[in-house]
C-alpha cells in the first residue's frame, strides 16, 4: 500500500514526465520546420528547463533523505543506494552512448548539407548574373549619356517631344529630365497609367552633383528589377544644370533567372549562417532530452528503489520492535509477491509470539497469584514452615517460623540450619535433630524438642516430609514447627489445677474437725492435767492447731491456684499500684531499702487491680525473702514504657541483691511446687505467672549479671491491641 503523499508525488512525477516529453516533441518539431510550434520555442525551452530543475530538486531531496538515512544507519538505506546506483548505471550508460552518436551524426549531417562546390557554383552564378547585367548596364549608360548630349542643346519647348524620341531611341521604359536638385522638368514613359515619374534618391542626386553618372539595378514600384541610369546633361550655359534619368526594363526571363539566382544564393547564405545556430539549437534540444531521460531515470530509480526497499525496511523495523519486546507489530503487506509472502509470514509470526507471550504472561500472573496466596496463607499460619532444598538450604521461611525460632526471616532464607545455628547457639539442638532427620531415609517424621533462649524454654513440635521435585528444587523438605510451650503449660496447669482442687477438697474437709477437736481437747483437758503434762499437752495441741492452720493456708493456696479466673479490669496507673505495695512493705520491714524509679510516661492500662497487687505483693515478698540470707534488704523497682514494633508495653522490674536463683531451676521457677524456700508452698510464682498471663503479659526472672541477686520482670501490653470489651472496663 502506497502512502497518500507517495501517491501524489508519483502522479505528479508522471504528469511532469508526460508534459516534458510532449514539450520536447514540440521543440523538436519547431526546429525541423518553422511551423506553428516555433512561436512557443522559447516557452518550451523555458518549460523544459524548469521541468529539469524540478527533477533536480526532486532528486536532491531524495538524495539528501537517503544520505540522512545512511548516516542514521537506518535499515534499507544501503539497499536503496545500491539499487539507485544500479538502476542509474544501467539506464544512463546506453542513453549516454546514444547521445554521443546522435550528436556526432547530427553535426556531421548538418555539415554535410553544405558543400564548397555548391557554394562556389552559387557565387559564380551570382557573379555571372552580375556580369551579364553589368554589360547591359554599361551599354545603357552609354546610350543615356548620348541621349543627354542630344538633349543638351534642345530648347525647353521641344523637350517633351525630344524625350519621347529619345525614349524610343534608347528603348527606355521611362525617361525623365530633372534639375540637379532633383526637380522634375519633363518625363516620357511608355506606361500611360504612370502619372508621376520615379525620382532618383538623394544619394544618386548627390553623386550626380559631384559629376559622376549613376547606373544600377533598382527595384522600382515592385515591378521587379529595372536598370536605372542617371547622367548629367552637358552644360550649355543656357538655364540651370540638368540631369537625365532613364529606366530600362530587364527582360522577364532575365529578371526571373536573376531573382532565382539571388534567392537561392540568399537562402544558401542564410542556411550557412544559421548552420552553427541550428547545430547549437539541436545540441540544446538533444541535451535537454538527454538530461530529461537521465533525471527521469534517476528519479524513477529513487522511487522504485524506495518502494522495493520499503518492505525490507519495514521488516527490519518490525524485527527490531520484536527484539525490543513489542509483539503487536503488524507490517503492511506490500504486494502478492515473495516479499509480500515474507511480510505476511512475519506478521503471522509476531501474532503467534504475541499470543504465546500473552499466554506466558497469564501463566506468570497465575503463578504469582498462587505464590502470593501461598505466602499469605503461610504468613497467617501460626506454625512455622521451612522449605529446604536438596542442599538443606532454606528456600522459604514464613513469619511464624522466624517467631518460633527467634531468628529474623532474612537470616533464615538462603542459609542452612547449621549456618543459622552457628549464629544462634540456642538452635544447636534443633540443628542436631534436623540434621539427623534429614540424613535418615524416613520420609515423614515428627519430633518434639525444647530449646532455651534467654532463659525461656520453648517446646517445639517439628514435623517434616520430603517435597516432590519441582522446577527449582530437586528434592527438598518441608518442615513445620509448632510452638507447643503454651499447650504443654496449659495441660500442666490444668493437671495441677485439678490436683489442687481435689487436694483442697479432700484435705480441707477433715481439717476443720481436726482443729476444732484439738481446740476442744485442749480446752477440756489442759486444766485437768498435771503441770509437767500441761506443757507437753499445750505444745502438742498447739502444734496440731498450727499445722492445721498451715494446712488450711496451703489448701487456700491450692484453691486460689485452681479456681477459674474472674478478671475485673479497670484503667489503672501502674506506678500508683506499685507505690501502694511498696509502702506496705516499707512499713512491714523497717530495714528494707526500696528504691523506686517510675517513668512519667506510663499510660493507664486496664488491669485487675486486686490481682495485679497480688502479683507485685508476691514478687516483692519473694525478693525480700531472697535478701534475708545476706541481710541486705535493698530493692530497686522501676517502671518504663517500651516500644516493640507497633506494640507498646509497660515493663516493671523488681531487682534484689539477694541470693539469686540456681541456673537449673531458673527455667522452671514459675512451675507449681518449684521453690527454693523452706516454708514456701511453691505456688506463689505459679499464681504470679497465671495472673500476668491473664493480663496477656509475660513475666520472667533473670539473675543479675554483674552482682548477686535476681530481677523479676513483668511486661504488660498497653491497650492498643488489648482486646477488652468496654463493659469489662469500668
Partner 1 sequence: MHACKKSEHSHFLLVVIIILLANSLLFPGSAQTAIPGIEINYVNCDLNEGFYMLDAGMRVELSEESKKALVHGIPLRIDIEIKVIEKRKWLWDKTLLSRMIVFRLSYQPLTSYYIVTNISNGRRQQFSNLDDVLNYLGEIRDYKLVEFEQIPQDNHYTGLFRAKLNIQSLPTPLRPLAYISSQWHLSSPWYEWKFE
Contact positions toward partner 1, by CB under 8 A? 30-31, 34, 38, 41-42, 45, 126, 129-130, 133, 201, 203, 216-219, 222, 225, 258, 261-262, 265-267, 269-270, 272-274, 277-278, 280-281, 284
Interatomic CA distance for residues 718 and 557, integer angstroms? 30
Question: Toward partner 1, which CB reaches closer, 277 or 725?
Answer: 277
Find, among 244, 247, 257, 246, the residue nearest to 223 by Cα.
247
**Least Å distance between CB 280 and partner 1?**
6
Take residue 487 and report the three cell numbers written for it: 499447650
C-beta closer to partner 1: residue 3 or 36: 36
Query: Can you point out the beta strands (E) in 491-545?
Result: none
Select 129 or 314, whichever has its Cβ closest to partner 1: 129
Contact 559, 505 (CB under 8 A): no
C-beta closer to partner 1: residue 21 or 278: 278
Nearer to partner 1, 287 or 422 (CB): 287
Minimum distance from CB of 259 to partner 1 (Å)?
A: 8
- For residue 343, the minimal CB distance to partner 1 (Å) is 52
* Pairwise CA distance, residues 656 & 508, whole Å: 36
Residue 292's Cβ-count burial label (10 Å; 0-12, 13-18, 19+) is: buried
Q: Judge contact between 37 and 30, C-beta under 8 A.
A: yes
Distance of closest approach, residue 63 Cβ to partner 1, in angstroms: 30
CB of 212 to partner 1, least distance (A): 13
CA dihedral sign of residues 353, 359, 363, 368: positive
Pairing state between β 593-597 and 634-644 = parallel
**How many C-alpha atoms does 231 have within 13 Å on its Cβ side?**
22
Residues 192 and 343: their CA atoms lie apart, in Å, by 100
Contact 724, 567 (CB under 8 A): no
Nearer to partner 1 among residue 30 and residue 294 (C-beta): 30
Which grid cell is 660? Answer: 539469686
Give whichever of 219 and 436 is closer to partner 1, judged by the CB atom.
219
Residue 244 · residue 148 · CB < 8 Å: yes
CB of 228 to partner 1, least distance (A): 10
Shortest Cβ 284–partner 1 spacing (Å): 7
Residues 210-218: contacts with CB under 8 Å, at least 24 apart: 213/141, 213/144, 213/145, 215/137, 215/138, 215/140, 215/141, 216/137, 217/133, 217/137, 217/250
Nearer to partner 1, 284 or 514 (CB): 284
Q: Which residues of 614-643 are buried (b: 16+ CB within 10 A; e: fewer)?
A: bbbbbbbbbbbbbbeeeebbbbbbbbeeee
Smallest distance from partner 1 to CB 265, Å: 6
**Least distance from C-beta 217 to partner 1, angstroms?**
4
CB of 107 to partner 1, least distance (A): 14
Q: Is 331 within 8 Å of 318 (Cβ atoms)? A: yes
Cβ closer to partner 1: 254 or 604? 254
Nearer to partner 1, 7 or 219 (CB): 219
Q: Would you say 42 or 97 has its CB closer to partner 1?
A: 42
User: Where are the strands (E) in 550-620, listed by range?
Assistant: 570-572, 593-597, 605-607
CB of 270 to partner 1, least distance (A): 4
Residues pairing with 216 in the sheet: 228
Separation of CA 612 from chain center: 67
Amino acid at each position: 500500500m502506497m502512502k497518500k503523499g507517495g501517491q501524489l508525488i508519483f502522479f505528479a512525477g508522471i504528469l511532469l514526465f508526460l508534459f516534458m516529453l510532449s514539450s520536447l516533441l514540440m521543440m523538436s518539431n519547431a526546429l525541423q520546420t518553422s511551423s506553428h510550434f516555433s512561436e512557443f520555442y522559447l516557452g518550451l525551452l523555458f518549460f523544459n528547463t524548469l521541468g529539469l530543475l524540478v527533477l533536480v530538486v526532486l532528486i536532491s531531496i531524495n538524495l539528501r533523505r537517503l544520505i540522512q538515512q545512511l548516516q542514521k544507519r537506518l535499515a534499507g538505506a544501503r539497499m536503496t543506494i545500491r539499487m539507485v546506483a544500479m538502476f542509474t548505471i544501467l539506464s544512463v550508460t546506453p542513453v549516454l552512448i546514444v547521445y554521443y552518436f546522435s550528436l556526432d551524426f547530427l553535426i556531421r549531417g548538418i555539415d554535410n548539407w553544405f558543400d564548397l562546390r555548391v557554394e562556389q557554383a552559387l557565387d559564380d552564378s551570382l557573379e555571372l548574373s552580375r556580369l551579364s547585367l553589368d554589360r547591359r548596364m554599361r551599354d545603357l549608360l552609354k546610350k543615356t549619356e548620348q541621349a543627354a548630349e542630344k538633349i543638351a542643346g534642345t530648347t525647353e519647348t521641344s523637350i517633351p517631344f525630344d524625350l519621347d524620341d529619345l525614349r524610343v531611341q534608347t528603348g527606355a521604359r521611362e525617361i525623365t529630365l530633372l534639375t540637379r536638385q532633383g526637380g522634375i522638368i519633363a518625363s516620357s514613359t511608355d506606361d500611360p497609367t504612370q502619372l508621376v515619374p520615379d525620382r532618383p534618391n538623394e544619394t544618386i542626386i548627390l553623386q550626380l552633383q559631384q559629376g559622376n553618372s549613376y547606373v544600377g539595378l533598382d527595384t522600382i514600384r515592385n515591378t521587379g528589377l529595372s536598370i536605372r541610369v542617371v547622367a548629367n546633361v552637358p552644360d550649355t550655359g543656357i538655364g540651370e544644370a540638368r540631369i537625365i534619368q532613364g529606366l530600362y526594363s530587364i527582360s522577364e526571363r532575365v529578371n526571373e533567372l536573376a531573382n532565382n539566382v539571388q534567392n537561392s544564393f540568399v537562402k544558401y547564405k542564410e542556411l550557412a549562417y544559421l548552420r552553427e545556430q541550428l547545430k547549437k539549437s539541436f545540441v540544446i534540444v538533444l541535451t535537454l532530452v538527454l538530461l530529461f531521460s537521465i533525471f527521469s531515470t534517476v528519479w524513477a530509480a529513487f522511487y522504485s528503489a524506495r518502494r522495493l526497499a520499503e518492505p525490507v525496511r519495514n521488516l527490519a523495523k518490525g524485527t527490531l520492535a520484536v527484539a525490543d519486546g513489542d509483539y503487536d507489530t503488524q507490517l503492511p503487506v506490500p504486494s502478492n509477491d515473495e516479499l509480500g509472502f515474507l511480510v505476511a509470514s512475519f506478521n503471522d509470526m509476531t501474532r503467534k509470539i504475541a499470543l504465546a507471550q500473552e499466554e506466558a504472561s497469564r501463566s506468570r500472573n497465575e503463578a504469582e497469584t498462587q505464590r502470593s496466596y501461598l505466602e499469605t496463607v503461610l504468613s497467617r499460619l501460626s506454625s512455622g514452615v521451612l522449605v529446604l532444598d536438596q542442599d538443606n538450604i532454606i528456600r522459604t521461611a514464613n513469619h511464624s517460623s522466624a517467631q518460633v525460632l527467634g531468628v529474623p526471616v532474612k537470616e533464615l532464607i538462603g542459609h542452612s540450619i547449621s549456618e543459622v545455628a552457628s549464629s544462634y547457639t540456642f538452635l544447636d539442638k534443633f540443628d542436631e535433630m534436623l540434621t539427623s532427620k534429614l540424613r535418615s531415609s524416613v520420609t515423614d517424621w515428627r519430633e518434639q524438642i525444647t530449646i532455651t533462649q534467654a532463659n525461656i524454654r520453648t517446646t517445639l513440635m517439628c514435623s517434616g516430609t520430603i517435597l516432590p521435585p519441582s522446577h527449582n528444587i530437586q528434592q527438598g523438605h518441608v518442615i513445620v514447627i509448632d510452638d507447643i510451650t503454651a499447650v504443654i503449660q496449659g495441660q500442666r496447669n490444668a493437671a495441677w489445677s485439678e490436683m489442687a482442687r481435689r487436694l483442697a477438697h479432700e484435705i480441707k474437709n477433715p481439717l476443720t474437725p481436726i482443729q476444732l477437736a484439738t481446740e476442744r481437747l485442749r480446752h477440756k483437758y489442759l486444766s485437768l492435767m498435771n503441770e509437767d503434762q500441761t506443757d507437753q499437752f499445750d505444745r502438742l495441741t498447739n502444734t496440731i492447731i498450727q499445722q492445721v492452720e498451715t494446712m488450711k493456708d496451703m489448701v487456700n493456696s491450692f484453691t486460689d491456684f485452681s479456681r477459674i479466673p474472674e478478671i475485673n479490669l479497670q484503667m489503672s496507673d501502674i506506678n500508683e499500684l506499685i507505690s501502694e505495695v511498696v509502702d506496705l512493705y516499707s512499713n512491714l520491714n523497717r530495714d528494707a531499702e526500696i528504691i523506686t524509679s517510675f517513668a512519667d510516661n506510663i499510660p493507664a492500662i486496664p488491669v485487675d487491680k486486686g490481682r495485679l497487687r497480688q502479683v507485685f505483693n508476691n514478687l516483692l515478698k519473694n525478693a525480700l525473702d531472697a535478701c534475708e540470707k545476706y541481710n541486705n534488704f535493698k530493692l530497686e523497682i522501676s517502671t518504663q514504657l517500651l516500644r516493640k514494633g507497633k506494640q507498646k508495653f509497660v515493663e516493671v522490674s523488681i531487682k534484689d541483691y539477694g541470693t539469686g536463683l540456681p541456673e537449673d531451676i531458673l527455667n522452671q521457677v514459675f512451675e507449681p511446687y518449684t521453690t527454693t524456700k523452706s516454708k514456701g508452698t511453691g505456688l506463689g510464682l505459679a499464681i504470679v505467672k497465671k495472673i500476668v498471663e491473664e493480663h496477656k503479659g509475660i513475666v520472667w526472672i533473670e539473675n543479675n549479671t554483674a552482682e548477686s541477686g535476681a530481677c523479676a520482670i513483668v511486661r504488660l501490653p498497653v491497650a492498643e491491641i488489648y482486646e477488652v470489651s468496654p463493659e469489662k472496663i469500668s
